[in-house]
Amino acid sequence: MKELHFETIDSTSTYLKRNRGELDSFTAVSASFQSEGRGRSGRSWKADKNENLLFSILLKDAPQLEAGPFLSLVSAFSVARSLEGMGMEEISIKWPNDVYVAGKKVCGILLEGNISEYIVIGIGINVNQTEFHDEYRIPPTSIRLELGKEVDIKGFRALLYKNLEEDLKDCLNKRRFISYYEGHDYLKGKKVEHLGDTCTVIGVDEDFALILEKDGVKEKVTSSEVTLKLV
Ligand code: BTN
């Protein structure tokens, strides 16, 4: 992994998209603060300065482009196993790519790009932040809140980069990631609203499409841009 770090940047993902022509695949850019951090579905991603891990990775090689949206799960898996490596328990993945600890969000992942050319994976992890300023239905958590102690952000970043590099290079070995997901599935059995209907989440298929059930009829949801509301 080639590593760059900025104290302040607009957004690590925007930086990589802007400079993707000059930068190599597996370049990681982190920042202590983002002035225009972006989340999924056009939302902003706000994180207090110096308290969190905010970074993005540029991918341009064939195996990763072939894996495409599946990289959401690969990234969530890397984050989850790195958190486990820090001694955290009760980790789950919320399809397609949020990581939860004890039922609360600790990490968000944003996949962008154009799969014939490049993919940028943006990852935001709440590390030492203990107060969250926006209104949330379920307030987020951080590694520090869960472990009860301050975390060395650089040390955690090194562990995560190592795991991500290994897992992203193995991204076509889908079964490995699906198996982990099946054992750490946040949504399984929960009720969600999809296109106005209330459905029950059954699980995922081998391509990581979500399987929902309504009135005994199963339906697959493939787009990772679908926003599901828990009911
Ligand atoms: C989500 O909405 O849950 C995804 C959040 C992704 C945030 C990260 S922080 C680093 C990278 N740069 C951004 O602007 N966004 C991603």
Atom 2, ligand 1: residue with shortest CA distance: 39
Instruction: Output the CA 12–ligand 1 centroid distance in Å.
Output: 9
| pLDDT over threshold 80, residue 228 | no
Average pLDDT, the chain: 94
At 104, list the tokens.
């609360």
Which residue is closest in CA terms to ligand 1's atom 3? Answer: 108
Q: How many A from CA of 47 to the centre of ligand 1? A: 10
Q: 61 alpha carbon to ligand 1 midpoint, in Å?
A: 22
d(CA 17, CA 146): 33
- The two tokens of residue 129 are 């932040």
164-187 pLDDT, tens digit each: 999 999 999 999 999 999 999 999
Strand partners, 92: 100
pTM of the model: 0.95
109 lines ligand 1 (CB under 6 A): yes
Q: What pLDDT is stored for residue 226 in this prediction?
A: 55
Q: Is the CB of 210 under 6 A from ligand 1?
A: no
Query: Coil, helix or strand for 168?
Result: helix
Question: Per-residue pLDDT tens for 104-137?
Answer: 999 999 999 998 899 999 999 999 999 998 888 8
Angle, vertex CA 109, rays to CA 168 and CA 145, nearest 5: 110
List % helix, strand, coil for the chain (3-state, nearest 5).
Answer: 30, 35, 40
Instruction: List the residue whose alpha carbon is closest to atom 9 of ligand 1.
Output: 124
- pLDDT at residue 224 greater than cutoff 80: no
pLDDT in tens, 44-96: 999 999 999 999 999 999 999 999 999 999 999 999 999 999 999 999 999 99
Domains and CATH numbers, the chain: 2-183 (3.30.930.10), 191-228 (no CATH)
What sections of the chain are H helices per DSSP?
Answer: 12-18, 62-67, 71-85, 143-147, 153-169, 174-183
Query: Which among 58, 204, 47 has a CA at the least distance from the CA of 124?
Result: 47
Q: How far apart are CA 16 and CA 28, in angstroms?
A: 9
